Amino acid sequence: MTQQEQVDYPVPASVSEYRFPASFDEFPPLRNDALLQSAEGISPVDLTRPPPIWIMRQAGRYLPEFQAVRKEHSFFTVCRTPELACEVTLQPIRRYEGLLDASIIFSDILVVPQAMGMEVQMLGGVGPHFPSPLKNPEDAQTRILDRKVDVYEELKYVYAAITKTRHGLEGKVPLIGFCAGPWTLFGYMVEGGGSRTWEKAKAWAYKTPENAKAVLQKIAEVSAEYLVGQVQAGAQLLQVFDTNADCLTPHGFDTFILPYLAILPKLVRSRLASLSLPCPPMTVFAKGATSPAQLSALSQIGYQTVGLDWSVTARYARQYTGSRVALQGNLDPSVLLGGKEAIKREVRNLTWGPDGFLTCAREGIKGGWIVNLGHGITPGVDPEDARYMLERLRRECVKNSKEDEPDA
């Protein structure tokens, strides 16, 4: 759909057919746990076999099969219909059979503001739009801070989609659940949509920092409970996306971003423990938070994996994270628009370049690696170029020398 999509996104009756919490004994046994082994720090980089690979936004607009679904259904209808969300999640697993080591549930970070009572529309050619964003601290007090949120009711469609997808995967790969970082959601809720400057959100935080912190705390608490529900539904790894982490000063990052990223794993672990459930590995991806102090901090707040954008090298990141966490990333998504020669060249640099992940591993620098892009795959990518990248990564990752080999 290219025009403004419908405002009313009803939850289909089929959601009630899915048991919650899910019965874990009924899920097919997992046959590929490479991602979980690396994310938990159990498996360091092994130069004799490829590390686990997946792609942020791997279920998305670059796939013609996804576009076919979207021609018939609005974006949030896909999110809210377990059968459609499952189908879209499985599409890249089918297309790239044997090349991906994880799936990620098809949903959107903005379902959390929706659960908190805010209307979110998806406008064709524009993206997410909040018709009534937060206006001031008094507005936030009434609409957000004083509101009780039942994520298990409001987001039951996500949980149903996770449970259905676990069965649909047939144990081929693990399923990732996710949410956004509190600062990223705060930005959307104040700005009313995406922004290049995030000026309104930043002004709010600087002018009334205590109110901003209260809103961020509330978002964190709701998001943590949402993640707990995803685990109860069957998610096997959790990722937190703070894609606007690069818009504040270092002090602003320490004040409005880092503390609320740190709250999430603490709350999730505590809540799962109260339910006698183990906490799956957790990944934090704070785009742009790549200073030495920021990387060091992110590696010490309760996550097992730190995602990297494309602006840093493996060697640089390892200097500040040590072997405390696995690293995830970090090929520039735009490389996929450059053709096969560019993909081959940049994959080689990512792996066996002077500061590449495998070069560091061969030198004895410890720490796991999950291969990914440095941000989400973009709509203009040819799916066959994505395939070539996956194949090339697997080929490079089992080489034990820097010498190139002729293509088969």
Does 367 have pLDDT greater than 60?
Answer: yes
Please give the residue range of the domain that contains residue 380: 47-100+308-399
In the chain, the amino acid numbered 152 is Y
Closest Cα partner for 45 from 389, 374, 356, 404?
Answer: 356
Residues 92 and 236 in one domain: no
Q: Of 302, 337, 362, at which residue does a domain stop?
A: 302
What pLDDT sits at residue 400?
Answer: 54
Same domain, 206 and 265: yes
Selected catalytic residue, list 46, 61, 269, 324: 61
Mean pLDDT (the chain, rounded): 94
Is 57 known to be catalytic? yes
Q: Is 62 a catalytic residue?
A: no
Report pLDDT for 402: 47
Residue 384 has pLDDT above 90, yes or no: yes
Choice among 188, 260, 303, 320 that is catalytic: 188
Q: What is the mean pLDDT of residues 310-339?
A: 97
Q: For residue 105, give the nearest of 75, 85, 122 by alpha carbon.
A: 85
- The verdict on 314 and 271 lying in the same domain is no
Rounded mean pLDDT, 378-398: 96
* Across 123-129, average pLDDT: 90
Identify the active-site residue in 18, 57, 242, 303: 57
Element (H, E) at 123: strand 121-123
**What's residue 226's pLDDT?**
99
> Which residues are bridge partners to 331 per DSSP?
373
166 counts as catalytic? no
Average of per-residue pLDDT across 283-289? 98
**Residue in 357, 317, 321, 368 with CA at minimum distance from that of residue 52:** 368
Residue 181 C-beta-side C-alpha neighbours within 13 Å:
24
Marked catalytic residue, from 46, 70, 315, 345: 70
214 and 112, same domain (yes or no): yes
**Residue 399 banded pLDDT, cuts 50, 70, 90:** low
Residue 198 lies in a domain: yes
pLDDT digits (tens, 9 = 90+) for 57-102: 999 999 999 999 999 999 999 999 999 999 999 999 999 999 999 9
What pLDDT does 124 receive?
Answer: 83
Contact assessment for residue 389 and residue 398, using Cβ atoms and an 8 Å cutoff = no
Residue 346 pLDDT level (bands cut at 50, 70, 90): very high
pLDDT at 220 (0 to 100) = 99
Q: What is the pLDDT, as a whole number, of residue 405? A: 46
Quickly state the pLDDT bin for 41 (edges 50, 70, 90). confident
- Eight-class DSSP state of 208: S
Note the pLDDT of residue 10: 78
Which one is catalytic: 33, 101, 108, 385? 108
**DSSP H or E stretch at residue 199:** helix 199-207
Considering the domain architecture, whether residues 267 and 156 belong to the same structural domain is answered as: yes
pTM of the model: 0.95
Q: Which alpha helices (H) appear in 235-367, and where do they start and end?
A: 250-252, 258-274, 292-298, 314-321, 340-352, 357-362
Q: Give pLDDT tens digits for 12-30.
A: 878 989 999 999 999 999 9
Give the model's pLDDT for residue 11: 83
- Same domain (yes/no): 200, 319: no
Q: Residues 170-187: what's their mean pLDDT?
A: 99
Clarify whether residues 328 and 191 are in a common domain.
no
Using a pLDDT cut of 90, give the percent of the chain over it: 90
Q: Are 150 and 240 in the same domain? A: yes
Structure tokens at 207: 């002018």
State the helix-helix crossing angle for 182-191 and 209-233, rounded to 10 degrees: 120
Per-residue pLDDT at 49: 87
- Active site (annotated) includes residue 392: no
Q: What is the CATH number of the domain that holds 136?
A: 3.20.20.210
Q: Does 345 qualify as catalytic in the annotation?
A: no
> Looking at residues 144-170, what average pLDDT do you find?
98
- Give yes or no: residues 113 and 181 share one domain: yes
* Residue 362 binned pLDDT confidence (cut-offs 50, 70, 90): very high
Number of domains into which the chain is organized: 2
- Residue 6: the pLDDT is 40
* Res 2: pLDDT: 39
